[in-house]
Amino acid sequence: MKPTAGGAAQLLAISDLHIGYPENRALVERMRPVTDDDWLLVAGDVAETVADIRWTLDTLAGRFRKVVWVPGNHELWTHPSDSVTLRGVARYEHLVELCRELGVTTPEDPYPVWEGPGGPVAVAPLFTLYDYSFLPAGCATKEEGLEYARGTGIVCNDEYLLHPDPYPSREAWCRARVAETERRLAELPGELPVIPVNHYPLDRHPTDVLWYPEFAMWCGTTLTADWHRRFRVHTMVYGHLHIPRTTWHEGVRFEEVSVGYPREWRKRPGTPGRLRRILPGEGEER
Ligand SMILES: [Fe+2]
Ligand SMILES: [Fe+2]
């Protein structure tokens, strides 16, 4: 790993904080920037309730120069434990308003440009959801995939809690988000590299190592499979899979930056809740 220049600002990332777990809340309480100018990218799954999301983003926004957030599926759940009962787009818009109040950047804002070490790079918070196109082997349609998943018992809670209102389905919401996001990314200056931040990987390859491959249906969309080639992607930052690691795909670095549940991070070596450095790049010497 290259040493960071003394005092140079860092672009850091984390996701899947799941602070409903007290152990994970404690990790957030300890999270600090390395320098006064560090940015933090938060790639979704902060918590299920608006109160917990507010606490987390408020805490982090008070410590980092800039915090960028994208929604995970857990933020979009209408969870029975939340006093906020909004569904679908209305819930998402409520969270965007909350972020505006806290000074946190969302997918609805202009893409900020990181001018620190490794820059200039546009940071593009994305919200593209999923459309069941990452089908299990041997399945040709969403219906076949879901039937298979019901057979194995691996069905994402989104089926019961993530409402697409006013869209007729989560995949319709996904298609609308993908079209709008594609339009915005295409407007970026051609020479400017971009770091997309999305809860889901833009390419399917990270799901190849899932313990339950059928879970991939809730992990992204094939509609974004060529974006890392089309949009000068420097590094693709994502979470959701709870398999933190770095992969290289067609010359592009993909970083899963998730913390995950205590039962998951306790088994891993290293410091739990460690912020992942995106720029200057770990592993760029490869
Ligand atoms: Fe998660
Ligand atoms: Fe997730």
Residue 107 belongs to domain with CATH number: 3.60.21.10
CA 156 to centroid of ligand 2, rounded, Å:
10
Whether 5 is covered by a domain: the verdict is no
Closest listed ligand to the CA of 242? 1
Average pLDDT for residues 231-254, to the nearest whole number?
Answer: 98
Question: Cβ contacts of residue 182 below 8 Å, gap of 6+?
Answer: 227
Q: What is the mean pLDDT of the chain?
A: 95
Residue 12 alpha carbon to ligand 1 centre in Å: 18
- By the CB criterion, residues less than 5 angstroms from ion ligand 2 are 45, 72-73, 240
In this prediction, what percent of the chain has a pLDDT beyond 70? 96
* Amino acid identity at 182: E
Question: Could you tell me the distance, in angstroms and rounded to a whole number, from the CA of residue 259 to the centre of ligand 1?
Answer: 8
Residue 207 included in any domain: yes
CA of 88 to the centre of ligand 1 (A): 18
Length of the chain: 286
CA 66 / ligand 2 centre spacing (Å): 23
Closest ligand to the CA of 17? 1
Q: What is the pLDDT of residue 190?
A: 86
List, for residues 137-155, the tens digit of each pLDDT value.
999 999 999 999 999 999 9
Contacts of 101 (CB under 8 A, 6+ apart): none
Q: Which ligand is nearest to the CA of 15?
A: 1
Domain that residue 73 falls in: 11-279
Q: How many domains does the chain have?
A: 1
Q: What is the mean pLDDT of residues 101-125?
A: 98
1 inside domain: no
Q: Which ligand has the shortest distance to the CA of 261?
A: 1
**Does residue 183 lie in a domain region?**
yes
Q: Quick one: which ligand is closest to 19's CA?
A: 1
What are the tens digits of pLDDT across the range 158-188?
Answer: 999 999 999 999 999 999 999 999 999 999 9
From the CA of 243, which ligand is nearest? 1
Ligand 2 geometric centre to CA of 5 (Å): 34
Whether the pLDDT of residue 286 is over 60: the answer is: no
Q: How far is the CA of 45 from the centre of ligand 1 (A)?
A: 5
Asked if residue 78 belongs to a domain, the reply is yes
Asked if residue 170 is part of any domain, the answer here is: yes
- d(CA 21, ligand 1 centre) in Å: 12
Q: Print burial letters for 40-78: b (CB count within 10 Å at least 16), e (below 16).
A: bbbbbbbbbbbebbbbbbebbbeebebbbbbbbbbbbbb
In whole angstroms, what is the distance from residue 91 CA to residue 159 CA? 16
Question: How far apart (Å, rounded) are the C-alpha atoms in residues 128 and 261?
Answer: 23
Whether residue 6 lies inside any domain: the answer is: no
Distance 103 CA to ligand 2 centre (A): 23
Please report which confidence band the pLDDT of residue 241 belongs to, taking 50, 70 and 90 as the band edges.
very high
Q: How confident is the model at residue 282 (pLDDT cuts 50, 70, 90)?
A: low
Within a domain: 205: yes
Q: 178-233: per-residue pLDDT in tens?
A: 999 999 999 999 899 999 999 999 999 999 999 999 999 999 999 999 999 999 99
User: Do residues 286 and 4 touch, judged by C-beta distance below 8 A?
Assistant: no
Counting ligands in written order, the one closest to the CA of 220 is 2
